[in-house]
Amino acid sequence: MDRKQMESAISGIVRLLGTSLKNRGLYPPSHPLVRTPVEKCHAELSPFFAERAELALTVSDGTLVLEGVPVFHLTSSLELFMARLGSIGVPAVIFERGVTIRDIENFVHFLHETKEQGLPVGIIKERLAHRGVLHIRITAAEEDEDDFTVAREIYGNAVGVVVKALKDVRNGRTPNGADSDHAVREMNGMLSRNRDAMLALTLIKNFDEYTYNHSVNVSILSLAVAESLSLAEQDRVSVGVAGLLHDVGKTQLALDLIRKPGTLTVEEFEEIKKHPEEGHIILGKMTHIQEATRYMVLEHHMRFDLTGYPRPEPGHRVHPNSQVIAVADCYDALTTMRSYQKARTPQQALEIMRKLAGKSLDPDLVQLLERSLGVYPVGTMVRLNTMEVGIVTGNSKEEKGVPNIAVLFDRAGNPLASPVPVDLATEDPFTGKPQRVILGTVNPLLHPPVSLTGVLSMASA
């Protein structure tokens, strides 16, 4: 099949789908005028799968695109089909080898019955699965693979780098510093592209994997502060790598000591206190590690008032960015549930940190962290004056001075079918006051669990 033949075959297929869809509005599903075009469509699709496993059709700006090239010569039934895809929010349809008449029928049924506009990709996928559509997939258009998905991958990679580094050290090998450098550059890039997507992940706490996630979270939070400090790229990377590897020295301690819940004996604490120096030594053997990074790891438990450990020699000058790691470390530890502590909300954590500012923590950096996370950091669950419960999905559009919210639970506490983005700037026409305001934060544990990344990508789609 050459390109011309392909295009005309595709037009045929799409026209048939459009005809079936149009007739579906007039006749029952079993009527020949609905059923026959589906069967013909199925027959016309099969030759494609002789030489390929799938056939992707994209809708872009109202134009049907076949493998990156727009298909022109549009007819009205073509348009009907694409208009439906466009209004529902389907960016691309992929027919897979093995597609059945039933798949096509169910897909047309889905297009027919769906009245909502601009549905998030996640929801469409879910509905198609429920409808029993097996070999027709929809996907986000390549160019806008949603940022939360990309951020999740980048986060996952970074966790992998930490896991490997710690394992290497435990096995007496020197970890490859280039991996850490690369992971940090990726996170830094994502942070500048979509700060909300990257920061949201720091609120996803995984109790079992504490050490690994904690390391990545400290790296991301440190990078966010480094960005607010307007540090140069290279310096940001040095801060991010220090965050990622700040506790690498703990690999030299006994595992049950690291995991011990509750208070440590004096001797045990003396052991723990060695980890910054151990980390400093390990980083010294690694390639691709900046000198500044080594100092930040050494000094991440030295406090602003120069208490802490290791105890600085008189006249010791602390690296200016070491406190960035300390602040990020403190915030992530406070907001994480541990066997001996409940997780604080971001607000509670920042309140505690404000009290430590000027003593153990650098007051300017505490303020900077607070400013860079926003009053309600992404992922915070909040109650609105309408008694609905929502989640903060973004803080970047600060012009309005209010975060973006998606409502998850109605006023009676029932979960909504999908998150509903609401604009806090919308005013009540009668009173002129905002329709919705945030009353305060909500303990996420009091609500049925929600998948944070799922919600965020749906709400932002």
Contacts to Fe ion by CB under 5 A: 247, 329
Q: Return d(Cα 176, Cα 179) in angstroms, integer.
A: 6
CB of 182 to Fe ion, least distance (A): 22
Which residue lies nearer to Fe ion by CB, 179 or 247? 247
Helix, strand, or coil (residue 440): strand
Q: Which residues contact 313 (CB under 8 A, 6 or more apart)?
A: none
Please choose, from the candidates 372, 380, 442, the residue with its C-alpha nearest in 3D space to the C-alpha of residue 405.
380
Residue 306 Cα distances to 111, 117, 132, 310, 315, angstroms: 65, 58, 64, 10, 11
Which residue lies nearer to Fe ion by CB, 103 or 329? 329
Q: Return d(Cα 454, Cα 448) in angstroms, integer.
A: 14
Q: What is the CA radius of gyration of the chain?
A: 27
Which residue lies nearer to Fe ion by CB, 90 or 326? 326
Phi-psi region of 359 (alpha: psi -120 to 50; beta: other; left: phi over 0): alpha
Which residue lies nearer to Fe ion by CB, 300 or 436? 300
Which residue lies nearer to Fe ion by CB, 104 or 244? 244
Phi-psi region of 98 (alpha: psi -120 to 50; beta: other; left: phi over 0): left
- 8 A C-beta contact, residue 408 and residue 416: yes
Which residue lies nearer to Fe ion by CB, 133 or 349? 349
CB of 332 to Fe ion, least distance (A): 7
Which residue lies nearer to Fe ion by CB, 83 or 253? 253
For residue 91, the tally of other CB atoms under 10 A from its CB is: 19
For residue 110, the tally of other CB atoms under 10 A from its CB is: 21
CB of 333 to Fe ion, least distance (A): 6
Strand arrangement, sheet containing 438-441? 415-422, 404-409, 389-394, 381-384, 438-441
Burial class (CB in 10 A: 0-12, 13-18, 19+), 416: middle
CB of 211 to Fe ion, least distance (A): 8
CB of 65 to Fe ion, least distance (A): 48
Which residue lies nearer to Fe ion by CB, 133 or 302? 302
CB of 226 to Fe ion, least distance (A): 17
CB hemisphere CA count around 275 (13 angstroms):
21
Position of tokens 């008694």?
387
Q: Which residue is nearest to Fe ion (CB)?
A: 329
Which residue lies nearer to Fe ion by CB, 196 or 329? 329
CB of 392 to Fe ion, least distance (A): 25
CB of 428 to Fe ion, least distance (A): 46
CB of 248 to Fe ion, least distance (A): 9
